Amino acid sequence: MKVDVCVVGAGPAGTSTALHLIREGLSVALLDRATFPRDKCCGDGLTSLALRELRRLDALPDHLSSWRTIERAEVVSPSGRRLGLDLRRQPPIAATARRMEFDSFLLERAEQAGAMVRTGSGISDIRVDDSSVRITSDDARVVVARHVVGADGARSTLRRLLTQNTEHRNQRHDLLAMRAYGTEQADVRSDVLRVWFPPDLIPGYVWSFPSGKREINFGIMVNRRHFGKTGQLRAVWDKLSAGSSAIPIDQVQNPKSWPIPSTLRLNRLSDSGALFVGDAAGLADPMTGEGIGQALVSGRYAAESIARSKPGQREGAAAEYRRRISRVLVAEHELSASLVRPLSHARLLDKGLQAVGVVPGAKSFFARWMFEDVRRTSAALPCRWTAAA
């Protein structure tokens, strides 16, 4: 198979890349080792950033059975103070959809748009020369392309094959998370998105996100530098899900943990002519762990960078991609990273949330800021929050 671009990985980053490439008139092969539909460990939350990108693609999945538009949120401080947030906006600024449905929907849209999709087989070899990239899959099928994009997650096989080492496998990801699906207590509203900051978990947090009819996505995210190892995370999980805390949940089943790559380095956005997007590029927000919006945005930037480069000029596309990420995402990422340390102090976090609750207009702004409906930096990055971003 010969195409203009081969995209390795068919999650949100990969399908966003493919859809934007097709809009630019380029042919695309989209590969993934998984067979869809498949589960993906995630909080399933969609911020305003993700929703804007989906609307840009005309791919808002509000017909899915697990889709929930979120109109209310509640944040609980380390001392137990509750802060209610009104998220009712038009268009909506927060929603949830199970990744098993959401990712399959986006993959179907990419295939309908013209992407040549191959799933159920990973990649085993890659050869790069001046004019082309030759990718061989585990089932011995070959794709020849002018460009290649890695959208295959935190432990990118494409990066490993290109660099011929295991550096990325040994990388200490800054964030760890664990989640499972369950049901809320009968006397608790299931349409409210909830976040708790237990004193022994900050700057991490616990979440309860609506998912389908009276179901929830229940999870924990921790900063590995402040917290420790996965085993400790499981001990906290067992304590919370056993009902020994104030967190209202009846039962959860089969918790799964995963690393969240949140170390954005410009020199890791490309390697040997390949561009990396989403988790493969370490783009998740270091404060919240949110990554779907960043995945969708990076896919668009990668596609536009390839489309605007001269045919076969992979280094030119890589330079343009790094420029776009640097101009729009780096300052946001650095700001989020700088807030991690203050959030590890319970008293400071308490005071901050208390101020949000009493200062006129603060709750509305905080809600929009929390769900990426306004830029987290001030005038430095206006392009991210406009239609031209």
The answer to whether residue 234 sits within a structural domain is no
The answer to whether residue 204 sits within a structural domain is no
Domain holding 302, by residue range, is: 2-40+96-171+263-334
CATH code of 319's domain: 3.50.50.60
pLDDT at 116: 98
pLDDT at 381: 42
33 touches 120 (CB < 8 A): yes
Full pLDDT tens readout for the chain, 389 residues: 999 999 999 999 999 999 999 999 999 999 999 999 999 999 999 999 999 999 999 999 999 999 999 999 999 999 999 999 999 999 999 999 999 999 999 999 999 999 999 999 999 999 999 889 999 999 999 999 999 999 999 999 999 999 875 444 444 468 999 998 887 665 555 678 999 999 888 899 999 999 877 788 989 999 887 666 666 788 878 777 666 555 655 566 788 888 899 999 999 999 988 999 999 999 999 999 999 999 999 999 999 999 999 877 899 999 999 999 999 899 889 999 888 888 889 999 999 999 999 998 899 999 988 888 877 664 344 444 443 34
Record the tokens describing residue 325, joined without a space: 């990420």
The answer to whether residue 302 sits within a structural domain is yes
The answer to whether residue 286 sits within a structural domain is yes
What distance in Å separates the CA atoms of residue 175 and residue 177, rounded to the nearest whole number?
Answer: 7
Q: What is the pTM of this model?
A: 0.92
The answer to whether residue 180 sits within a structural domain is no
Give the HSE-up count for residue 342: Cα atoms under 13 Å, Cβ half-sphere.
11
Extended beta strands in the chain, E state = 2-8, 28-32, 45-47, 68-69, 72-76, 82-86, 94-96, 116-119, 123-128, 133-137, 142-150, 175-183, 192-196, 205-210, 215-223, 251-260, 270-271, 274-276
Q: Which residues contact 228 (CB under 8 A, 6 or more apart)?
A: 222
